Structure 1
Amino acid sequence: MMDIPKPANPVTTLLPFILPFFLLMWRLPYHSPVEATFCVYIFIVFYAFLKSLWIKNHSVADEMWSIMPVYYAYIFAATSGSARSKIMFSLVAAWAIRMSYNFYRKGGYKGLEDHRWGKLRETIRNPILWQLFNFFFICVTQNALLLFICLPGYFAPNDSLNLIDIVATLLNLGFLLLESIADNQQWNFQKEKQRLISEKKELTKEFKNGFLSRGLFRYSRHPNFFGEIGIWWSFYLFTQSFNLSIIGPISLTLLFQGSSNFTEKISASKYPEYKVYQKITSKIIPWFPQKWQE
């Protein structure tokens, strides 16, 4: 059962994390965007690692997921000043607001650790190896990914807006809406399941199965992942050329492939019907499902 705690106040939780960046932003005019983003990246890597050691929680990167791209997008927009860069920053800001709200209502800012890290610790039992994994994957790699997905802001041209910009903006907003609907459907399902269990009421078929398989989840086992991946591929479209920033959406796509595999392994071990769901429903890209066999 998914635990849905009372949301915490994100301002008091993240204040020590946010304040140092005002100093970095103040120094922005004296640095190139590459230097500025590198400084922010190095700071946040060591911040995440030291905080994870201090609070013995390895979900610090989750607190940053919706915040760091705003800083990187701001740096690129501030140093470019073009209309395109401002649109790109606005899209990242809209994404961040939605992502932060979803994380907040799940109680993420209370310092709850992602259950998947606990599962991984059962595999990586050596404390030294675990801290190496913590530093290089959780802190270094995941924060590098947050920088990579924003790199299109650096490679975007400074010329006049065109049709590609309109298409990229509409696609980005469309994927944002899709991800929002998927997250809301999952949130409502988990809340209702928890209510039924707490009131000791009989669970209907879907709640008895333990996982959501209707709405957008009828066409994709991870429609929220599809929306997130689409957001950053459409963000890359603003560059209007093949360039190094493609590493961002590619890395994100690969991350969600691995993350979904690990998550589904856990779900299949908890819910017997999940293996049936896997057979009849597309994994990430929405598609027409097969008929559920009773």
Structure 2
Amino acid sequence: MSSLEDCADFSKVVEPFLPQLYELPSNAVSTLRNGGSLVSLYANTNPLVSGFAFSIFLGGIFWVASEANRNYSQVDRFWSLLPTFYIAHFAAWTHLNDLPSQRVDLVLFWSVIWSARLTFNYWRKGGYEIGSEDYRWEIIRGYCHPVVFFIFNATFISFIQSILLFLLAAPTYVILVASKIEPNVGTADLLFAGTELALILSEWFSDQQQWDYQTAKKTYQKTAKVPRGCGFTQEDLNRGFITSGLWAYCRHPNFTAEQTIWLVIYQWSCYASNVPYSWAASGPFFLIMLFQGSTWLTELITSGKYPEYRAYKKQVGGLLPSLRPYKPVVAMPRIIRTSDLAKREKAKQK
């Protein structure tokens, strides 16, 4: 690489290594048969190639497991772990090859925090978290012919989503390559990392607010009493969905933060390689497309369950926050005119 711009050039940092992808399975088998070192094979294989190959391998495992168990959320269970796993893979590869790793290690630092927060929420909520499409897959399955859904699972649910989780980490590869020219962590790198941590904090706040509301609502539904100190009124809990805190300004503040997190790492790679855009955008932008479909289906279900949700949608932005908080719809008392009262009196006399 002769310039930072070269570090984001697909024809220079990706295309020349594609033959390794085709050769990797046979090389791995040959290494095992001959008693060679898999570590050496790993170190001598381009990390983008080996990471992509592993995501395809995982896709096959997810597909087999989902068909065997009839549970199509296999990828969702690893959603909070795999992007960080791939970033750790890039970091390990740089250390193994004695390459500058400070900037990649910084990416790994915030990513570990992201995974820890998401994993904690996943288990706390019984398996539900961002990316968990369990009930949505069942709804889609109900509308599809079994053969169509089988193909959908074999392509999108299992393989494409697995590859997506790798592509989310792919901007780290650009930062890795650019570190060979600019190895030091600069002020901009710290600002990017700080922005990521702020977004993770925002996501934590929004998820915690949702958790508090749902916990209070479940208690209220069981006891018919508003839990003390929950911070919600009876009207709030009867509404069925949260409209306070960050949710008063945005219908999906956690989704907004999640998508922005991966857009920021992509922009970080653009800064590191001194380009306005690059092929590394594929992961973050595909994630946005996935969230669009998921959000649409979620809101369709929610609108059917809670009458006031349509008014909430009109006042509050879906992913972009509104400037004004949500004002709950108040049922206005019916105004009875004097003439109406007179008519009712006459009807009673008759």
Q: Same fold (TM over 0.5)?
A: yes
Distance in 1 between the 2:186 and 2:133 partners?
44
- Secondary structure of the 1:196 match is helix
Matched, 1:39 2:74: no
Distance in 2 between the 1:171 and 1:39 partners?
31
Distance in 2 between the 1:206 and 1:62 partners?
31
Residue in structure 2 matched with residue 227 of structure 1 by the alignment = 257
Matched, 1:83 2:102: yes
Which of the numbers 130, 133, 154 marks the counterpart of 2:149? 130
- Secondary structure of the 1:259 match is helix
Residue in structure 2 matched with residue 120 of structure 1 by the alignment = 140
Deviation at residue 30 of structure 1 after TM alignment = 4.0
Q: Is the 1:57–1:113 contact (alpha carbons within 8 Å) kept by the matching residues of 2?
A: no
Residue in structure 2 matched with residue 293 of structure 1 by the alignment = 329
Q: Which amino acid aligns with 2:170?
A: L
Residue in structure 2 matched with residue 55 of structure 1 by the alignment = 69
- Secondary structure of the 2:75 match is helix
Deviation at residue 162 of structure 1 after TM alignment = 2.0
What does the per-residue CA deviation read over 1:99-151, in whole Å, with 9 as the maximum and x for residues that have no partner? Answer: 11110111119xx9721112112211x11111111111111221121111101
Q: Is the 1:280–1:292 contact (alpha carbons within 8 Å) kept by the matching residues of 2?
A: no
Q: Which amino acid aligns with 2:290?
A: L
Residue in structure 1 matched with residue 189 of structure 2 by the alignment = 165
Distance in 2 between the 1:259 and 1:167 partners?
31
The number of residues matched between the two structures is 269
Distance in 1 between the 2:283 and 2:195 partners?
17
* Residue ranges of structure 2 left out of the alignment (5+ in a row): 1-31, 33-37, 96-100, 227-232, 331-350
Residue in structure 2 matched with residue 93 of structure 1 by the alignment = 112
- Secondary structure of the 1:201 match is coil
Distance in 2 between the 1:243 and 1:113 partners?
30
Which of the numbers 226, 243, 246 marks the counterpart of 1:213? 243
Residue in structure 1 matched with residue 171 of structure 2 by the alignment = 152
Matched, 1:141 2:163: no
Distance in 1 between the 2:108 and 2:254 partners?
22
Which of the numbers 297, 302, 306 marks the counterpart of 1:262? 297
* Residue ranges of structure 1 left out of the alignment (5+ in a row): 1-22
Q: Is the 1:172–1:234 contact (alpha carbons within 8 Å) kept by the matching residues of 2?
A: yes
- Secondary structure of the 2:322 match is coil
Deviation at residue 88 of structure 1 after TM alignment = 0.7
Closer/same/farther in 2, CA of residues 86 and 138 from structure 1, 3 Å limit: same
Q: Which amino acid aligns with 2:318?
A: K
- Secondary structure of the 1:149 match is helix
Q: Which amino acid aligns with 2:329?
A: Q
Distance in 2 between the 1:187 and 1:246 partners?
32
Q: Is the 1:220–1:285 contact (alpha carbons within 8 Å) kept by the matching residues of 2?
A: yes
Q: Which amino acid aligns with 1:291?
A: K
The equivalences for 1:59-70 within 5 A come to: 59-70=73-84
Deviation at residue 79 of structure 1 after TM alignment = 2.4
Which of the numbers 190, 196, 214 marks the counterpart of 1:190? 214
The sequence identity of aligned pairs, in percent, is 32
TM-score computed with the length of structure 1 as normaliser: 0.86
TM-score computed with the length of structure 2 as normaliser: 0.73
Structure having the higher Rg: 2
Q: Which amino acid aligns with 2:174?
A: F
- Secondary structure of the 2:169 match is coil
